Structure 1
Amino acid sequence: MKLDYATGFYNMSFFYINIETEEELTQDVLKKNEATFIHEFIHYLQDLVLPYNIRYSLSNVRWFFNILNSAHKMGSIHRPFSEWNNESSTLWIQFIRSIGDSRSIDSVFKIEDATSEFVITSGYDSNLHIQREHRVYEYMLPVFEDGKSTSISYNLGARDILEYIAYKIQLKNFPNSPPAPQLPYESIDLIFDKYGLSHISDDIRLCIAECCLYNDVPMHFLLNTLLGNDKFKKYIIDSSYEEIYSYLRLSATITRDGQIETLIAKTQRRLIQFARELQLQYSGFDEMKKWILKVNSFVEHKLSGRFIFSDLYKMDSDEMFKFINDVIYCIGIPLVMNSRKKYISIHLNDIEVSQFIQFYILQNFIYFVKSKQTQCPVYNFCKANGGICNENCTVNKQETIKGNENCYYRRFMEKYELFDIKID
């Protein structure tokens, strides 16, 4: 986000927040950058609650396991890695088409009608052990930027919805925040205007947006099932926020093969599956599994039956800050990093932070093997957090890693028996 104070970002699926400041992340520094911290905390909470996000966490587990299997079978990893099995390839198609564009567009003066296309894929759906057919939609939106006479094609997706929710909550509590780029932060407002629903209040828009993230193709659900349905459009025009909230909360998803599941049950199923995947696929993640089960319990007892982000938006600032402090006290935040990758943990209590560091390295390792970069995938993190780094780390010489006991990457390579795997 483009703000006067420190910017921030959050990478889906790996439970760490970034505050882009050179300063040590003390309580005073976090307070100074409170708007940014709250925005990124909302993204962190989205990962713990929303089935769309949890599905991506499951996908990352599968991708890493695919890489490990191939490495141990072949004795090497040739980069950029391309030995994806059918399941991994399918999961990537599903994610990359549903997440949407990675660009930001500052100011828009006109949009045209979005056009859609879909591909049919078949893949697993969590712990149901069912091969399901999925139609994965992509929505391309012709956008005219201010001062330009030709349109660009912008891919609407789940990112637009996730950012819209976080930005709306931030802006309500920090109204002096500088304007963010219209796309993705105001995408949902532009869509409501396009559908002739500019008079619909922000709280109703946010509630509908949140409901869409209980679906695996959120933008298609918004544009086709909800706003593209004349009956539903009339319903939201004629109904109160409370009526719409209750109607959506009690709704259920119905898959193309006839499986029916409530929204809350879907969240619980995927969180349980994520904990099981960590236990079955990865050695040494017992502490992290314990944390996931703690999150499961928290979601079940504190958030069940609620659209929590809609509730957060409706709270006044004091209520919101109390809720966020309660969440942090109960489940903590595993990693918060500054721009140098120096980390702190917040209220993890009895959970061992080293396993979340391994999970952070896992993410960077996936990116590393998909690229041809030469620098160690966690060079900056290691350097900022007490690791011993030298010039060999910038060219990722594995023989130097083996002799470095203070190397975070070495511990990761040991855990997954990758020391004798040739990586080129």
Structure 2
Amino acid sequence: MVNNFTSGLYNISFFNMKIDTSEELTNEVIKKEESTFIHEFIHYLQDLILPYNIRVNLSNVRWLFNILEEAYKKGTIKRPFEDWNNESSILWTQFNNTFGHGNFIDKVAYINNITSDYDNIEGYDSNLNVVRRHRVYKYTLDVVEDAELQHSETYYLGARDLLEYIAYKIESKFFPDRPAAPQLPYESVDLIFDSYGLADISDEIKICIAERCLYNDAPVHCLLYVLLSDNKFKDFIRNSSYKDIYAFLLNSSTLTRDGYSEELIAKTQRRIHQFKNELQIRYGSFEEISKWLSMVSEFVKNNLSGKFIFSDIYKMNSDDMHKFVNDVINQVGIPLIMNEQEKYISMCPEHIQKSGFIQFYVSQKFMDFLFNNKETKCPIYGFCKANGGSCNENCVLNNNGIIMGNESCHYRKFIETYRLTGIKID
């Protein structure tokens, strides 16, 4: 039987999503692919609210700044790019250890073992003007796929698992006929709770706990080491109501290794403000995004403060869920939604210009291009071709000298804005 099922992709940090359909995106097509759209919308909302995600947004901004500094210094960029400064290198280690890896496992018999390791890192924190030393943990699952064969596979657990778990649970509740997804990462939290003897804990409580952990910069460490390794906490979630658990987690705070305690909503607001300021100070072409982030910050403060919004969405009925999604779209929009050919639409309010988000997408594709030394054509060739750009053989050859003469080229604008016109990319 062929499932009428379309998959999608949300690009963390860059506020754009893709729906894998060849059809041009219209309201009717998005309605037809609503299950996928809602899943990716949840990921988009995670980027606007959760401190872990906003920290990844900040990391991408600093990685791009690092790339530009090296390009100006050396006059060339060698692919794959690896010339990280100390701050970028630390951020890279933190991301790799905490986010998890991209493999999928369809069926899991059980988790045989959970192990942890860590990297010691030390570097200058430009926000606090101090040198910080701490451990960055990473967690590994020994997964048994077939109980009879006892075949096991290594799986790297991370924030990705919690983010996908939340989105998948919400999608599955409102679209129960969607095809089953691979158990890892989409049912990772269920499997972990099973391995801790907590199989009877309800989905709404597990979603609430997963959401709380994503206010921490090491979400899986928070889940496994801080919460589920605490017998008092396990007894509490076994014997307490969802309402009491929700209130307890909401009133908790994050604590840094410097001993600084911060309320959850305050951490979100601080991160959004920091992200907005970095875009304004370092990147002139992202001014429109900075204005948009101010609007997002106000929306979060006025509408989402004092709650775990993803847990709340899961508890909604279908009408309330759709009303909430429409309210978010009406007030802050969705910057870019693309089909599989990269033809885009924008759902942002009229006063928000989409050109800044297109440039932000170019920055994403530019960094992807620098991390991959096999691709030769222009990083946004597919995007331009799908959206009426004047593409030609020079774009296929990525001939920067000729591209500079194309006034309508988004890549040309990016190259000129960040003074990369004379920079050779090997």
**Equivalent pair of 2:64/2:367 in contact (CA under 8 Å):** yes
Secondary structure of 1:200's partner? coil
- More off after superposition, 376-385 vs 2-11: 2-11
**Equivalent pair of 1:334/1:348 in contact (CA under 8 Å):** no
Secondary structure of 2:116's partner? strand
Secondary structure of 2:262's partner? strand
Aligned to 2:201: 200
Distance 1:393 1:95, change over 3 A: same
Distance 1:12 1:4, change over 3 A: same
CA deviation profile, 1:30-82 (whole Å, cap 9, x unmatched):
00000000000000000000000000000000000001111111111111112
Distance, in Å, in 1 between the alignment partners of 2:84 and 2:150 is 42
Q: Percent identity?
A: 59
Aligned to 1:225: 226
Deviation at 1:375, TM superposition (A): 1.6
- Structure 2: 5+ residue stretches without partners: none
Distance 1:198 1:125, change over 3 A: farther
Distance 1:81 1:251, change over 3 A: same
Equivalence map 1:24-35=2 (5 Å): 24-35=24-35
Distance 1:324 1:134, change over 3 A: farther
Q: Read off the aligned partner of 2:335 and give its amino acid letter.
A: P
TM-score w.r.t. length of structure 2 = 0.97
Distance 1:59 1:123, change over 3 A: farther
Deviation at 1:101, TM superposition (A): 1.9
Secondary structure of 1:180's partner? coil
Q: Read off the aligned partner of 2:401 and give its amino acid letter.
A: E
Aligned to 2:419: 417
Distance, in Å, in 2 between the alignment partners of 1:148 and 1:116 is 26
Deviation at 1:126, TM superposition (A): 7.8
**Equivalent pair of 2:5/2:178 in contact (CA under 8 Å):** no
Distance, in Å, in 2 between the alignment partners of 1:125 and 1:206 is 32
Aligned to 2:104: 104
Q: Read off the aligned partner of 2:299 and give its amino acid letter.
A: F
Distance, in Å, in 2 between the alignment partners of 1:123 and 1:329 is 42
Distance 1:315 1:129, change over 3 A: farther
Correspondence 1:303 to 2:295 = no
Distance, in Å, in 2 between the alignment partners of 1:355 and 1:423 is 24
- More off after superposition, 340-349 vs 52-61: 340-349
- More off after superposition, 406-415 vs 352-361: 406-415
Correspondence 1:389 to 2:391 = yes
Aligned to 2:36: 36
CA deviation profile, 1:225-277 (whole Å, cap 9, x unmatched):
00111111011111110001000001011112211111111111000000000
Aligned to 1:404: 406
Deviation at 1:125, TM superposition (A): 6.0
Correspondence 1:374 to 2:356 = no
TM-score w.r.t. length of structure 1 = 0.97
Aligned to 1:261: 262
Distance, in Å, in 2 between the alignment partners of 1:99 and 1:3 is 30
Secondary structure of 2:335's partner? strand
Q: Read off the aligned partner of 2:321 and give its amino acid letter.
A: M
Equivalence map 1:308-327=2 (5 Å): 308-327=309-328
CA deviation profile, 1:123-152 (whole Å, cap 9, x unmatched):
466844444333211111111224753211
Distance 1:223 1:409, change over 3 A: same
Distance, in Å, in 2 between the alignment partners of 1:247 and 1:350 is 40
Distance 1:281 1:331, change over 3 A: same
CA deviation profile, 1:264-310 (whole Å, cap 9, x unmatched):
11111000000000001101322111000000000111001110000
**Equivalent pair of 2:143/2:155 in contact (CA under 8 Å):** yes
Distance 1:394 1:273, change over 3 A: same
Equivalence map 1:170-185=2 (5 Å): 170-185=171-186
Distance, in Å, in 2 between the alignment partners of 1:131 and 1:252 is 23
Distance 1:47 1:216, change over 3 A: same
- Structure 1: 5+ residue stretches without partners: none
Aligned to 1:343: 344
Distance, in Å, in 1 between the alignment partners of 2:217 and 2:261 is 14
Correspondence 1:162 to 2:163 = yes
Distance 1:3 1:106, change over 3 A: farther
RMSD: 1.4
Distance 1:98 1:275, change over 3 A: same
Aligned to 2:79: 79
Distance, in Å, in 1 between the alignment partners of 2:58 and 2:105 is 30
Aligned to 1:132: 132
